[in-house]
Structure 1
């Protein structure tokens, strides 16, 4: 049973994770080959560059889910999350209330323009290995973009 004290500690750890965002992203980018990192500029197109790197680094789900990959996956998820958050005005959140939630204990982005479902960057990163398209993450991005454009059109009466 999770106590309120335990939950408070978990949220404190998440706040530390958020405060470490800039340094963690810098460390992540510095850990990549230069020909990859110099192209990662938080633009939509950079999502394909990252995904193609993911596919060269990990041949399957078991590799990307391995404990020794967790720091790299965290960096990749931060990068993907920040790219979406910056484009769609989202906010990082975490859920420690509903243990049945598929993303329980995982950082998510909420309140994005065009968002209709929960959004967990880490699962996009790991799913990209399974999909093996090289464009999966950017396709999700483009779907958000399309919903945002549609929502703006509905608001303006277009």
Structure 2
């Protein structure tokens, strides 16, 4: 089974437990991914940005984010912006293209205070007991607060570890 088939299988499983609003949101998010990314690239990325969804391009994305946001208050003030949506999409698509993972979304309602509620997330393509999640907006918030280079690539280790642990378990079954 190739990565696209694995991703599709996990997306189908996710959809079984998602609320209808969450399914609709995720369907819209995925349906216009390419168009939104292209528009974001043209509008917000500097000339010469290495727009190739490579892990190395994440270092360049960090530079763009850090130039835009001097501190957490700048970042919070820009919440919901077209720029941040595009950055989330690029980060998530880079991980999805380079690692075995998929987009996810939960909608537990507007009154539920949960850091995973109503934010796009990247989930490892693993069984539930190994699944781990990256919330790009939370990673960006951490990047802006800490201002340490390499955060975006380093955080991809969450997915890599989940995949490794699931693989180890399969190996130990044999």
TM over 0.5: same fold? Answer: yes
Equivalent residue for 1:44, pick from 37, 45, 55: 55
- The whole-number CA distance in structure 1 between the counterparts of 2:22 and 2:53 is 28
Equivalent residue for 1:111, pick from 117, 124, 147: 124
Equivalent residue for 1:12, pick from 24, 46, 54: 24
**CA apart distance, 1:148:** 3.6
Alignment correspondent of 2:7: none
- Equivalence map 1:68-147=2 (5 Å): 70-97=81-108, 99-112=112-125, 116-145=131-160
Alignment RMSD (CA, Å)? 2.6
**CA apart distance, 1:72:** 0.4
Alignment correspondent of 1:23: 35
**CA apart distance, 1:116:** 4.5
- The whole-number CA distance in structure 2 between the counterparts of 1:118 and 1:147 is 9
- The whole-number CA distance in structure 2 between the counterparts of 1:141 and 1:16 is 25
**CA apart distance, 1:155:** 4.0
Q: How many aligned positions are there?
A: 149
Which secondary structure does the structure 2 equivalent of 1:65 belong to? helix
- The whole-number CA distance in structure 1 between the counterparts of 2:148 and 2:170 is 34
Please report the TM-score for the alignment, with normalisation by the length of structure 2.
0.72
Which secondary structure does the structure 2 equivalent of 1:34 belong to? coil
Please report the TM-score for the alignment, with normalisation by the length of structure 1.
0.78
- Uncovered stretches (5+) of structure 2, i.e. residues with no partner: 1-18
- The whole-number CA distance in structure 2 between the counterparts of 1:41 and 1:49 is 11
Which secondary structure does the structure 1 equivalent of 2:122 belong to? strand
- Uncovered stretches (5+) of structure 1, i.e. residues with no partner: 1-6
